[in-house]
Chain A
Amino acid sequence: MSESITIPEQTLYLPIPTPVTAVRMLTKTECLITVELDPDRIEPYRPGQFFMLSLPGIGEAPISVCSPPEAYPRLQLCVRRVGKVTAHLHQLAVGSTIGIRGPMGNGVPLEQLKGQDLLIAAGGLGMVPLHALINHIVKNRADYGTVTVLYGAKEPGELLFRDELLQWGSRGDLNLHIAVNIADEDWMGHVGMITTLFQYVSVDVAKTAAVIVGPPVMYHFVMQEIRKLNLPPERIFLSLERRMKCGVGKCGHCQINEITVCQDGPVFSYDQLKTLPEAI
């Protein structure tokens, strides 16, 4: 006698078929995919969390949440074309269906950030999760003190969300500083590493939290600048970029010593990471 297996409606192991409602190219290599989540099967998300996106017969890839929690059940995901799965994701048309598992990971601790001055540093694709956070802050501006955003990209063509950058820069209640590593002669903005933007930063140590997201190489140098500010380690949050596979802490791909980035993170306080030599 065979026993039937019941799969629960809400499970992080089962991709939920989800309709694509918009696809827009942001740069030559990044596109923004909008989907409409089924609120009965997929829980609300927060900045810093991620979803596993799958295409049957092709594969699955972890993609950071790009939209603020207020957009739920709409979800935006920014996908950089780096391999087979992401190349196929770039070819999605409106009305097609993708598999979604998530939300995964812990996300940014929004409750701890409330009432604080915020220093936000984004490097390259690190702007994707921080786009979700910044838009959340903008929608709840009174909940936060002074907000300073530092954003570094390799070149002007790699800057994400250019329209919103202009809007944020003109708000008057958000200090936005952008740097590119290299530019052509027509670029009127700042040229240099993101670390050169710290000259514009002054913080009130007693009430400032920092959130930093970027490629691994960025952390090493940005943390040198952050340490000069004397912020307490428990108020510095970093999101680690690792090769995540299962998303539920089982496969070990993203393991660093005793932690799994996909499940224990990807957002950690510096207090948690400073004793993990392989983390940053």
Chain B
Amino acid sequence: MIDKELLKDSELFGALNDEQLDKIAALGTTQTYDTDAFVFHEHDPAASIYFLVAGRVAVLIDIGLSKRTNVFTVTKGDSFGWSAIVPPYVLTASAKCVEPSTIVSIDALKLRELLDEDQALGLKVFEKVTSLVSKRVKDTRLQLINLIHG
């Protein structure tokens, strides 16, 4: 259980009403991480969805030979680990703290059950998840364009 006020700064949950925030807050825990600590690893089952309360997190993609490339930085208020509510619920990247960070995690299994039961809430959350993934795609396109044409 976390304080629902924390969720109001989240891009995924910030627009929910108080009743909906209470439901999500009941599934959340807050954890602190040291620099270099991994929040999750690519290819693992996605057990939680996260949002960053403080600090900074690097999103890393495996490129073979035990190496990873840093492709995106999560900043305060950003959500990450969206694979937790999008099939096949497998993480598409790793997340590593590049600063001491405070992170809220929401239990994915319980969240999916909640979104199934309360479809009005489900619609609101999935609109935000779609928007988040769309923003990531756009940012990735810009990075690609800049690498090719910049």
Contact = CB atoms under 8 A, between A and B. Distances in A.
A192 B149 contact: no
Interface in B100-150: 139, 142-143, 145-147, 149-150
Interface in B7-39: 35
B139 A192 contact: yes
A193 interface: yes
Interface stretch (A42-50, A68-76, A101-109, A176-184): A176-184
Q: Secondary structure at chain A's binding surface: helix, strand, loop or mixed?
A: mixed
Contact of A183 (B70, B96, B146): B70
Contacts of A221: 142, 145
Interface in A10-47: none
A241 to B, nearest CB: 11
Given A184-B70, A185-B67, A191-B71, A217 B146 contact: yes
B71 A215 contact: no
Interface string A182-223: 111101111111011001000000000000001111100100
A124 B70 contact: no
A48 B149 CA distance: 23
Contact of A218 (B71, B73, B150): B150
Nearest to B97: A188
A194 B105 CA distance: 28
Contacts of B143: 181-182, 192-193
Interface residues of A, number: 26
A151 to B, nearest CB: 13
Contact of B72 (A152, A192, A199, A216): A192
Interface in B45-70: 56, 58-60, 67-70
A199 B142 CA distance: 16
A247 interface: no
Q: Is the interface of B mostly helix, strand, loop or mixed?
A: mixed
Contact of A193 (B35, B60, B96, B139): B139
A182 B58 CA distance: 11
A33 to B, nearest CB: 24
Nearest to A218: B150
Contacts, number: 71
A123 interface: yes
Name which of B56, B143, B149 has the most chain A CB atoms within 10 A of its CB.
B143
A9 B72 CA distance: 54
A185 B69 contact: yes
A92 to B, nearest CB: 27
A196 B56 CA distance: 14
A205 B35 CA distance: 37
B98 interface: yes
A195 B141 CA distance: 12
B9 to A, nearest CB: 13
B67 A218 contact: no
Contacts of A124: 150
B66 to A, nearest CB: 10
A52 B32 CA distance: 55
Contact of A195 (B96, B142, B149): B142
Nearest to B143: A181
Interface of B: 35, 56, 58-60, 67-73, 75, 96, 98-99, 139, 142-143, 145-147, 149-150
Given A184-B68, A189-B98, A195-B142, 14 more contacts: A124-B150, A154-B146, A154-B147, A181-B150, A182-B69, A183-B69, A184-B69, A185-B67, A185-B96, A191-B58, A196-B139, A216-B149, A217-B145, A221-B142
7 contacts: A184-B67, A185-B69, A191-B58, A191-B59, A192-B139, A215-B149, A216-B149
Interface of A: 123-124, 152, 154, 179, 181-185, 187-193, 195-196, 199, 214-218, 221
